A = this chain, B = another copy of it.
């Protein structure tokens, strides 16, 4: 637990996984053959099987490896001002958008989703734990800080987080997974980030702190 994610793969193995991710991004799952990975990474199939067990082990390792690269930095424990909270929310949404629209993330999600359905939902669980877990934890910490600072008002943090996520992403993640170009999607995400924060603060902002931005009624 002291060195949980960093060096669980040797440099050589990391290089192989990097190459495997590249192949996956370029050609989808069908392009990710054991022989192809071995050839692209200049390693032998025997080593692949020695290191990762079998093909599924390789896929799981790719997910774990990619997850180990996102730093889940815990931003702050101090009291937040309105502007700071707003800025942190915006940063969170921008980071979220960047992750979700990243080629590697999309490819890994496609991979996990594609082989979910059947009995082997192993990869899907991995993605949920290693991918969405940390992101959600980070957001919840931020929202909690906002509440402690008297800027947000909610009873169920998970509910508030789901709302924020929905406002920021809506159905764009699924549409990207289905093939909408990440460029198109990123434009849409970018134009929605600030609006999502406005809406979120109208829904969950502590009343006396935000004097109702974008006031709409008489």
Contacts and interface: CB of A to CB of B under 8 A. Distances in A.
Interface of A: 24-25, 27-31, 106-107, 109-118, 121, 124-125, 127-128, 132, 153, 159, 162-163, 165-171, 173-175, 177-180, 192, 195, 199, 202-203, 207-208, 212, 216-218
Question: Which of A31, A132, A217 has the largest count of B CB atoms less than 10 A from its CB?
Answer: A217
14 contacts: A27-B117, A28-B116, A28-B118, A31-B118, A121-B178, A127-B178, A128-B178, A128-B180, A162-B192, A163-B199, A166-B171, A174-B174, A202-B202, A208-B218
A110 to B, nearest CB: 5
Question: Which of A153, A166, A202, A218 has the largest count of B CB atoms less than 10 A from its CB?
Answer: A166
Nearest to A205: B216
A179 B218 CA distance: 47
A168 B112 CA distance: 24
Given A117-B107, A174-B173, A128 B167 contact: no
Contact of A218 (B168, B175, B207): B207
Contact of A170 (B30, B106, B165): B165
A207 B171 CA distance: 27
A212 B217 CA distance: 9
Contact of A177 (B113, B175, B207): B113
